[in-house]
Structure 1
Amino acid sequence: MKLIGITGMPGSGKSAIINLAKENNIPVVSMGDIVRHETLKQGLILNPENVGKTAIFLRKLHGKEAIVVPCLKYIFEKYKNEKFVVIEGIRSIYEVNYLKKHVFLEIIAIHSSPKTRFERLSARNREDDSNSLDTFIERDNRELDFSIGSVISLADYVVVNEEEYDKFLENLNSLLKKIIMNVDE
Structure 2
Amino acid sequence: MLLIGITGMPGAGKSSIYEVAKKFNLPIISMGDIVRYETKKRGLELTPENVGDTAIKLREKFGNEAVAVPCLKYIEENLKDEDVVIIEGIRSLYEVNYFRKHKPLVLIAIHSSPLTRFQRLKKRGREDDSESWDIFVERDLRELGFSIGHAIALADFVVVNEGEFNNCLNQLENILNRILNNLDEFKKYNFIYQLKK
1:37 aligns with 2:43: no
What displacement does 1:114 show? 0.2
State the alpha-carbon separation in 2 of the partners of residues 113 and 57 from structure 1. Answer: 28
Deviation string 1:139-174 (CA, Å, 9 cap, x unpaired) is 000000000000000000001001211222111111
The AA in structure 2 aligned to 1:51 is: V
Q: Which runs of 5+ in 1 are unaligned?
A: none
Runs of 4+ that moved beyond 4 A: none
What displacement does 1:18 show? 2.3
1:148 aligns with 2:148: yes
The AA in structure 2 aligned to 1:149 is: G
**Quick check: 1:113–1:162 contact (8 Å CA) kept in 2?**
yes
- Which residue is 1:112 aligned to? 112
- Which residue is 1:136 aligned to? 136
The AA in structure 2 aligned to 1:57 is: K
State the alpha-carbon separation in 2 of the partners of residues 22 and 55 from structure 1. Answer: 28
The AA in structure 2 aligned to 1:178 is: R
1:9 aligns with 2:3: no
TM-score relative to the length of structure 1: 0.97
State the alpha-carbon separation in 1 of the partners of residues 165 and 66 from structure 2. Answer: 34
TM-score relative to the length of structure 2: 0.91
State the alpha-carbon separation in 1 of the partners of residues 184 and 177 from structure 2. Answer: 10
Instruction: Give RMSD over aligned pairs.
Output: 1.0
The AA in structure 2 aligned to 1:150 is: H
- Which residue is 1:64 aligned to? 64
Partner SS for 2:162: coil
State the alpha-carbon separation in 1 of the partners of residues 57 and 10 from structure 2. Answer: 20
Partner SS for 2:29: strand
State the alpha-carbon separation in 1 of the partners of residues 172 and 39 from structure 2. Answer: 31
Q: Percent identity?
A: 63
Q: Which runs of 5+ in 2 are unaligned?
A: 186-197
The AA in structure 2 aligned to 1:76 is: E
- Which residue is 1:160 aligned to? 160
Change (3 A) 1:63 1:184: closer
**Quick check: 1:121–1:129 contact (8 Å CA) kept in 2?**
yes
Partner SS for 1:158: strand
- Which residue is 1:86 aligned to? 86
Partner SS for 1:26: coil
**Quick check: 1:110–1:159 contact (8 Å CA) kept in 2?**
yes
Partner SS for 1:139: helix
